Chain A
Amino acid sequence: MRKMLITSLAIAIAASLAGPRAFADSSDSARVGDIQYGNALDPTGWAPLLWADPRGFSWLHAGMMRTPSGVLYAYPPQRDDKSSPLYKNSDWVYSGFLQLGYLHLGGDTHAEFFRQYAGWKSGMALGLFALYADNPKTGQYVEFRGSRLSGGDQYYRLRAGQYGSYRIEAFYRNIPHDVTTNAYPLWNGIGSTNLTLPAPLVPGGSTPAEVAAVDKTRTRQTIGLTRRREGLSFEDNFYRDWTGYVSIVNEKRTGDRLWGGPMYLNYILPDNGGALETARPIDFTTTDVSIGLRDVGAIWQFQLAYTGSFFRDHKNELDYQSPFALRNVAGVPQVANIYQGQFSLEPDNDYHNLRAELSRSLKWNGQLSLAAAWGTMRQNDPLLPPVTCTGTGGIFVSPSADFTFNCADWNTSAALSQQTANARIDTGLLDAKITLHPFPKFGWHAGLRWYREDNRTNYLAFNPLTGQYGYIAENGSQGSIIPGQIGIFDPRNPLYSSYVTQVRAIPFGYTYTVFDTGIDWRVSEHNTLNLTYSFDRDQPKYRERKLVNEQRIKLSWVDRALGKGTLRLDYEFAYRNGGPYDYDPYEPFYSTALPGFVTPPLGNVAFTTDAMRKYDLSNRIEHKLHATLIYPIGDTATISAIAYATRDDYGAAIGRQATRNRGFDLSWDWQPSPLTSISANLGRDDSSLNFSNVADNEDITGAPGRDDPSLGGPLFPLANQWQSLDHERDYNAGLTLRHDFGRVRADLSYTYTYALGKIGYVFASPGALPITQQPFVDAAGNAFPDNHYHINTLQLGFDIAFSRMFGMRVFDIFETGSFADWHYLGLQDNLVIDHRIYTDLGPQPHYSANLVGVMLNVKL
């Protein structure tokens, strides 16, 4: 019966695909995604089949040979020397393996870090089902691999084809991702598009104490998602050197994620505003299509590829209720229902990319490559109305200061200048590269690359119903707390004719040009030097700089005979500068650029300080050093070591100023015989990042000098400058040990991770702080509490062979961890803090979890 099933599976797929072909070559490494199939139980997807053959690799020499760089090859796994025929006199032979058993979880099995991407579940589990059948005479094969930890964590993949000719592949997989296992959402309807408050809370009418009372009844939930992917692909060498392929992959992503919910600032207005941590639904479908053609000739190589991706979000919005009442700081209280919040979730989008690449072999062992690509991403989703409220929002102060707005003028799509987004970005790529080796010891290469991203989105925030520009900020809450801060500009109304608000979408785009050239020089048989120079020119649109240049020199030295080892040493120096820096390039998209805008007598409040330099555009000097050493020890061991250091200095008085990173890793691998292997590793990484900022002088925002952007001026006094100092240190260690005792094989692995994060700060005066009263200044200190992330994982397993065919695996995975992050500090005591509601308690401060498994191994 078993053979019949296997036979049916193999023959049904392979027989329909038979036929002679010429060369073909699958190109997994050129495809994005679905390369790896494994899970937390077996990350390799092949572990049960990796016990080494006691005979080793060769009768002619002891041990294993080393890679050209000096790493020992692993001993080949033990396999039956002869595969079984599928049936009597069949040309098809097969081999297979089944591992099936029971997993039992204990301890804090809901700990976030234990199951972040692992769908552990007590119960039956399929460790691995692997089946391979081929016909040595025709070169046809069928291969299947699958594993299942739980319904949310499983994969199955089938491949069939003929060597060098064609291949068909089908897969199905579920990938879990638990975002938090420690969530206590307040709202009903988590996972839907409508979050409503539980009784007895009243939207817009509940006090923090009332919300906190309900908070006590919340139950712990997991917020996370599952990616279900299925795909089918076919590749065929259909004519001589020509290969075509087509693939389609569909993903259904479902679940939920932590999300937000603003109702204006609370920190500055106690018992007012609202900051809500909600959860949003995930209900996505993405279909990816790839079609390609390539020709691999002796001289010419050609590729033409189309990639299409079609994303659909089946839940386009999130509505949520805020329980808190808003209070206007002046005037008559608002009467609209400004407690209903709304988010637009991601729009559907379509993506197309067409790419052609042509290479020609040249004399002198050279190659010329030319590539061109065109792409476009588009979406045209219907736009939601600016608000969902009904009634009158805003604030009435006096007849001459009537800052109210009629929700009816803004809560339908008639309030929009266009009904759909009509957003589009086109991309283009041209790339040319030439490589020549006129002498055996000397090579030269040069390349020129041009890439452009052209954003064609053009949206004007204009309400044809009111003739006003702009939008209603924060669901109407901001303008219902602070008079006049609705978010609208109206050149006809003096109350709004000086209001600065964004009125157009900013179509960010850029053109990126890179020229690089370099030489390779083989100084001696085992020594090679590479010197590369590159010049990058970035021309961003509507950014603080219109031109950013970076020059980079990289020197590499490869010594393949450093004693017995191989050393690879790289040093890079980069210098980035560019054109003038405009601290406020967004003005054309704000109301200040519209006709009728009235500049106030005191001028507009400066957008930011002119000393600010955004770090993706600022001047920078970079040094990078990286060394890799692989050093054989005797015939059975290898030491690998890397050391690295990076130093970046940014030319910024305000903004990112410097980063530093240095670290090392040391590994030792020993395989004294096919029966035993041991490896250990140890690493440390230190990084730091400093940046500076300056708090604006809020006393001056209504006084002369408020339009002065200079650092040290009245709005941005030096006394308000501050600096943040981030420092992280990571330790990693690991140990693996495997030994074959004969009938019993044992494996042990241990992983240690410790990360320590420190954030300190210094400030020139209390003016840098949000609250300048002395008790709060005293409480500020000079650093946040340390963050840490500390995980120990120990795995121990025994494989016991009962016969050639049957065996058993018993294993235990024990993990313990501790965690601290000041973002969550104190939330354990109360998830409701004034007008703030939190959902996530954060990862568990301490946990230990244990997994025991007993699996039956069957060789097929």
Chain B
Amino acid sequence: MQNGGARTAVALLMLFAVAASLLVVRHAAAQVAHPATAASALTEQDFSRMLPAMTAQAATNADDSNPHAAPLPASALTTGDFKRMLPRTDMRSDADANAHPHAHAFIDAGAATSFDGAPIAKNPLAPDAIAIGAKSCVACHALENVQASHSLHVQAFRAGAAGTGAAAACESCHGPGSAHAKDPTKPGLIIAFTRDAKAPIDAQAGVCLACHKGGARQDWIGSVHQQHQLSCTDCHNPMARLSPEGVLAKNSINQVCATCHQDIRDKFNRRSHMPLPEGQMSCVDCHNPHGTLSADLIKTDTVNETCYACHAEKRGPFLFEHAPVRKDCLTCHDPHGSNQQALLVLPVPMLCQQCHTMTGHPNDLLTRAGLATGPAPDERLMGRACLTCHTNIHGSNNPSGSRFHK
């Protein structure tokens, strides 16, 4: 059966290799076939080709007065082009509308969700820009709109818009879009959250925290991830649904964390490990990446309290305690993974003998002579070693258990 399994795997591997050999050819074709993989420098013709709906609408918009008239920097397209291409905003464009884009959200009994009242982010790089509404954004960002529609984040904004009419949904995060609409290729006129963003990391995080502050993120400021200049969008991508929940930038929490913490990911491949590779647990079960009051982003006041959340039997308190156990589980265990049994940081009895030098049997040097194959088998070495007798090592509730024998 073992050989059968191997043969099956080899056969499938060969099949895959054949298929993969077609990949390069297909990839070359894909570069042509898929607009998304075409060259990035856009010409006016490109724009017209890609946005047929907009160009078709250009005629009907030709006589519209542009409410956002302002000097325009040089770009591939002229102001007139954009005037013609963008649909008329369905938002009011006066100053009050931008200051209070959803003034009626909390008044109307029909308000759908709190997203009706989402504020518009301020973009310090475009201080005079005003909101133009999602309809205008989507005119160009059509596919983004489609993909983002599957994200819970955008669905929520959409529901908000459904409650109160036209909304600055996109601009709640990206800031007012008028300046960007006039000069779409100039960086910084819209708040971006990607590698090339001109907005500082803190400013990016500030946009997210405008709605998401408090709760799990109450200690974001000063946290190790904040200090290391991580933006929310290093871990999250609210523009697509890549994960079951959490609008993550990758498919799971563990994958997101492993982007930087590859060494920790590797530990989960070791002999004993928490069940992260098996999908039963995530890093965020124990750590809050948004910041905590405790070291190492542990969620609870101490490491032990986090461990007790699953290992409640270890909580005790016991009649007889083992000092390092009570203080810190990490004295003996590596919670991420270990090459020893039960996540131990060293094999027993060596683990114990680092501290236990007491007179009597603990302080002998145990060697290979004491293995079951040696001339003097020794129970301190074989199987569970010390734990064969000192079994209740996490604490004993037995009146005769001071040495954890009972």
Which residue from chain B places its CB closest to the CB of A690 in the assembled complex? B354
One of B212, B234, B326 near A69 (C-beta < 8 A): B234
State in angstroms the CA–CA spacing of A295 and B259 once bound together: 33
Given known contacts A71-B234, A424-B317, A455-B317, A260 and B384 CB-to-CB distance under 8 angstroms: yes
Q: Which of A1-9, A25-33, A190-198, A327-335 contacts B (4 or more CB under 8 A)?
A: A25-33
Given known contacts A343-B391, A726-B350, A789-B270, A826 and B383 CB-to-CB distance under 8 angstroms: no
State in angstroms the CA–CA spacing of A508 and B277 once bound together: 36
Are B279 and A20 closer than 8 Å at their CB atoms?
no
Are B319 and A475 closer than 8 Å at their CB atoms?
no
State in angstroms the CA–CA spacing of A508 and B293 once bound together: 24
Are B372 and A825 closer than 8 Å at their CB atoms?
yes
- Distance in angstroms from A810 CB to nearest chain B CB is 9
- Distance in angstroms from A166 CB to nearest chain B CB is 10
5 A-B pairs with CB atoms under 8 Å apart are A30-B288, A58-B36, A65-B195, A614-B324, A776-B375
Are A655 and B34 closer than 8 Å at their CB atoms?
no
Q: Which residues of A contact B269 (CB under 8 A)?
A: 732, 751, 753, 791
Q: Which of A211-219, A595-603, A765-773 contacts B (4 or more CB under 8 A)?
A: A765-773
One of A275, A556, A748 near B227 (C-beta < 8 A): A556
Encoded as 1 (CB less than 8 Å from any A CB) or 0, chain B from 50 to 83 comes to: 1100000000000000000000000000000000
Which residue from chain A places its CB closest to the CB of B359 in the assembled complex? A696
User: B155 contacts the other chain (Cβ, under 8 Å)?
Assistant: yes
Contacting A at CB under 8 A, from B142-170, are: 142-144, 146-147, 149-150, 152, 155-156, 158-160, 162-163
Q: Which residues of B contact A675 (CB under 8 A)?
A: 26-27, 30, 34
Which residue from chain A places its CB closest to the CB of B113 in the assembled complex? A139
Q: Which residues of A contact B5 (CB under 8 A)?
A: 106-107, 814, 848-850
Are A384 and B301 closer than 8 Å at their CB atoms?
no
User: A530 contacts the other chain (Cβ, under 8 Å)?
Assistant: yes
Which residue from chain A places its CB closest to the CB of B193 in the assembled complex? A68
Encoded as 1 (CB less than 8 Å from any A CB) or 0, chain B from 316 to 337 comes to: 1111110110111001000000
Q: Which of B93-101, B173-181, B246-254 contacts A (4 or more CB under 8 A)?
A: B246-254
State in angstroms the CA–CA spacing of A540 and B302 once bound together: 15
Are A431 and B293 closer than 8 Å at their CB atoms?
yes
Given known contacts A275-B379, A383-B319, A44 and B252 CB-to-CB distance under 8 angstroms: yes
Given known contacts A77-B242, A379-B317, A746-B19, A780 and B372 CB-to-CB distance under 8 angstroms: no
User: B380 contacts the other chain (Cβ, under 8 Å)?
Assistant: yes
Are B266 and A685 closer than 8 Å at their CB atoms?
yes
Which residue from chain B places its CB closest to the CB of A721 in the assembled complex? B365
Encoded as 1 (CB less than 8 Å from any B CB) or 0, chain A from 56 to 74 comes to: 1111111101111111011
State in angstroms the CA–CA spacing of A31 and B285 once bound together: 7
The 9 closest A-B pairs by CB, nearest first: A38-B279, A850-B5, A56-B36, A826-B372, A43-B279, A139-B159, A296-B214, A260-B391, A76-B240
State in angstroms the CA–CA spacing of A701 and B106 once bound together: 83
Given known contacts A29-B290, A33-B285, A265-B379, A66 and B195 CB-to-CB distance under 8 angstroms: yes
Most buried by A among B152, B321, B327, B400: B400
Q: Which of A367-375, A395-403, A800-808 contacts B (4 or more CB under 8 A)?
A: A367-375
Given known contacts A29-B216, A435-B221, A746-B16, A284 and B158 CB-to-CB distance under 8 angstroms: no
Are A823 and B347 closer than 8 Å at their CB atoms?
yes
Encoded as 1 (CB less than 8 Å from any A CB) or 0, chain B from 293 to 304 comes to: 100000111100
Are B242 and A850 closer than 8 Å at their CB atoms?
no
Q: Which residues of B contact A424 (CB under 8 A)?
A: 317
Are B22 and A741 closer than 8 Å at their CB atoms?
yes
Which residue from chain B places its CB closest to the CB of A173 in the assembled complex? B280
Most buried by A among B110, B162, B385: B162
State in angstroms the CA–CA spacing of A540 and B321 once bound together: 14
Q: Which residues of B contact A761 (CB under 8 A)?
A: 365, 367
Q: Which residues of B contact A537 (CB under 8 A)?
A: none
Q: Which residues of A contact B368 (CB under 8 A)?
A: 779-781, 783-785, 822
Q: Which residues of B contact A110 (CB under 8 A)?
A: none
Given known contacts A74-B249, A347-B316, A695-B364, A267 and B376 CB-to-CB distance under 8 angstroms: yes
User: A827 contacts the other chain (Cβ, under 8 Å)?
Assistant: yes
User: A490 contacts the other chain (Cβ, under 8 Å)?
Assistant: no
State in angstroms the CA–CA spacing of A163 and B244 once bound together: 16
Encoded as 1 (CB less than 8 Å from any B CB) or 0, chain A from 337 to 379 comes to: 0000011101101010100010100000101010101010111
Are A39 and B270 closer than 8 Å at their CB atoms?
no
User: A757 contacts the other chain (Cβ, under 8 Å)?
Assistant: yes
- Distance in angstroms from B148 CB to nearest chain A CB is 8
State in angstroms the CA–CA spacing of A427 and B143 once bound together: 54
User: A254 contacts the other chain (Cβ, under 8 Å)?
Assistant: no
User: A528 contacts the other chain (Cβ, under 8 Å)?
Assistant: yes
State in angstroms the CA–CA spacing of A511 and B271 once bound together: 35
Q: Which residues of A contact B20 (CB under 8 A)?
A: 737, 739, 746, 748
Given known contacts A349-B316, A768-B364, A827-B382, A673 and B389 CB-to-CB distance under 8 angstroms: no
- Distance in angstroms from B385 CB to nearest chain A CB is 7
User: B222 contacts the other chain (Cβ, under 8 Å)?
Assistant: yes
Chief secondary structure at chain B's binding surface: loop
Are B244 and A45 closer than 8 Å at their CB atoms?
yes
User: A608 contacts the other chain (Cβ, under 8 Å)?
Assistant: yes
State in angstroms the CA–CA spacing of A663 and B361 once bound together: 37
Are B42 and A29 closer than 8 Å at their CB atoms?
no
User: B48 contacts the other chain (Cβ, under 8 Å)?
Assistant: no
User: A649 contacts the other chain (Cβ, under 8 Å)?
Assistant: no
Are A850 and B8 closer than 8 Å at their CB atoms?
yes
Q: Which residues of A contact B367 (CB under 8 A)?
A: 761, 769, 779-781, 784
Are B213 and A296 closer than 8 Å at their CB atoms?
yes
Q: Which residues of A contact B313 (CB under 8 A)?
A: 284, 311, 313, 346
Are B112 and A20 closer than 8 Å at their CB atoms?
yes
State in angstroms the CA–CA spacing of A654 and B231 once bound together: 46
Are B339 and A757 closer than 8 Å at their CB atoms?
yes
One of B12, B202, B354 near A656 (C-beta < 8 A): B354
User: A860 contacts the other chain (Cβ, under 8 Å)?
Assistant: no
User: A461 contacts the other chain (Cβ, under 8 Å)?
Assistant: yes
User: A689 contacts the other chain (Cβ, under 8 Å)?
Assistant: yes
Are B365 and A695 closer than 8 Å at their CB atoms?
yes
State in angstroms the CA–CA spacing of A739 and B19 once bound together: 9
Are B263 and A344 closer than 8 Å at their CB atoms?
no
Which residue from chain A places its CB closest to the CB of B142 in the assembled complex? A59
Are A644 and B387 closer than 8 Å at their CB atoms?
no
Are B262 and A640 closer than 8 Å at their CB atoms?
yes
One of A357, A461, A528, A779 near B375 (C-beta < 8 A): A779
User: A36 contacts the other chain (Cβ, under 8 Å)?
Assistant: yes
- Distance in angstroms from A745 CB to nearest chain B CB is 10
Are B27 and A676 closer than 8 Å at their CB atoms?
yes
Are B263 and A683 closer than 8 Å at their CB atoms?
yes
Are B377 and A833 closer than 8 Å at their CB atoms?
yes
Encoded as 1 (CB less than 8 Å from any B CB) or 0, chain A from 245 to 286 comes to: 000000000000011111001111000000111000000101
Which residue from chain A places its CB closest to the CB of B307 in the assembled complex? A32
Are B215 and A25 closer than 8 Å at their CB atoms?
yes
State in angstroms the CA–CA spacing of A726 and B379 once bound together: 21
User: B38 contacts the other chain (Cβ, under 8 Å)?
Assistant: yes
Encoded as 1 (CB less than 8 Å from any B CB) or 0, chain A from 98 to 135 comes to: 00000000111000010011100000000000100011
User: A577 contacts the other chain (Cβ, under 8 Å)?
Assistant: no
